[in-house]
Amino acid sequence: MKDYLARIWRAIRKPSTHYSLGFLTLGGFIAGVIFWGGFNTALEVTNTEEFCISCHEMENNVYEELKSTIHYTNRSGVRATCPDCHVPHKWTDKIARKMQASKEVYGKIFGSINTREKFLEKRLELAQHEWARLKANDSLECRNCHDFAYMDFTVQGKRAARFHSTFVASGERTCIDCHKGIAHNLPDMAGVEGWN
């Protein structure tokens, strides 16, 4: 076994005698494309709702709650899935969010939210992460679908039009400031700014 490994090691270290530089470069390039593609495919797979709710923590809590809301069923039939609101579109942002999500997977493996009770206990903290993220990026994920520039106030409800034409137009507030709990039940909001 040891011999075998040593032989392989030598083969790797030895300069190539059989293959041309051109072949190796091209081969490397192709392998690179395959790896890159594979990586992105894996990324795509983890970027679907099926993946998100393949763990019961998500399926039994947040997904169940989403199902009664306007982002699951509405007159136009446009659906928002988990990654639409939770994963940035830009590649670098996406990778950053995925690395953060690895921590959440860690939470799954070690069962820190494996019952409804534990989930509810953690909920405020989890929600605050999302609020902070959306606040920092000016509710980018919402705006991917709801483009403020194309909102027609005249067909909005009176309350909606009043808030949007003032606080949002001036940039004073962003979507998540007013639309917390848009997709899931809210945790105890005592102490959260604007809610007491």
Q: Residues marked as binding for a menaquinol?
A: 82
Among 6, 26, 70, 169, contact with ligand HEC (rule: CB under 6 A): 70
For the bound state, the minimum distance from the C-beta of residue 31 to another protein, rounded and expressed in Å, comes to 50
Taking the C-alpha atoms of residue 161 and residue 31, their distance in angstroms, rounded to an integer, is 54
Binding of residue 63 to ligand HEC (CB under 6 A): yes
For the bound state, the minimum distance from the C-beta of residue 155 to ligand HEC, rounded and expressed in Å, comes to 7
Q: Is 49 exposed, middle or buried (0-12, 13-18, 19+ CB in 10 A)?
A: middle
Q: How far is CA 101 from the centre of its chain?
A: 8
Q: Contact 176/139 with Cβ under 8 angstroms? A: yes
Residues 153-192 that bind ligand HEC (CB under 6 A): 156-160, 163-164, 167-168, 173-184, 186
CB count in 10 Å sphere of residue 90: 11
Q: What is the DSSP letter of 27?
A: H
Taking the C-alpha atoms of residue 24 and residue 89, their distance in angstroms, rounded to an integer, is 34
For the bound state, the minimum distance from the C-beta of residue 27 to ligand HEC, rounded and expressed in Å, comes to 41
CB count in 10 Å sphere of residue 136: 11
Q: Contact 143/174 with Cβ under 8 angstroms? A: no
- Give the residue numbers of the binding site for heme: 52, 55, 58, 85-86, 104, 142, 145-146, 175, 178-179, 184
Binding of residue 85 to ligand HEC (CB under 6 A): yes
Question: Of 20 and 76, which CB lies nearer to another protein in the complex structure?
Answer: 76
- From the list another protein, ligand HEC, none, partner contacted by residue 51 (C-beta under 5 to 8 A by kind): none
Among 43, 46, 49, 51, contact with ligand HEC (rule: CB under 6 A): 49
As a residue count, the chain comes to 196
Take residue 119 and report the two structure tokens written for it: 């989930």
Which residues are near ligand HEC by CB under 6 A? Answer: 49, 52-53, 58, 62-63, 66, 70-71, 74-76, 78, 80, 82, 84-86, 123, 126-127, 130-131, 139, 141-146, 148, 156-160, 163-164, 167-168, 173-184, 186
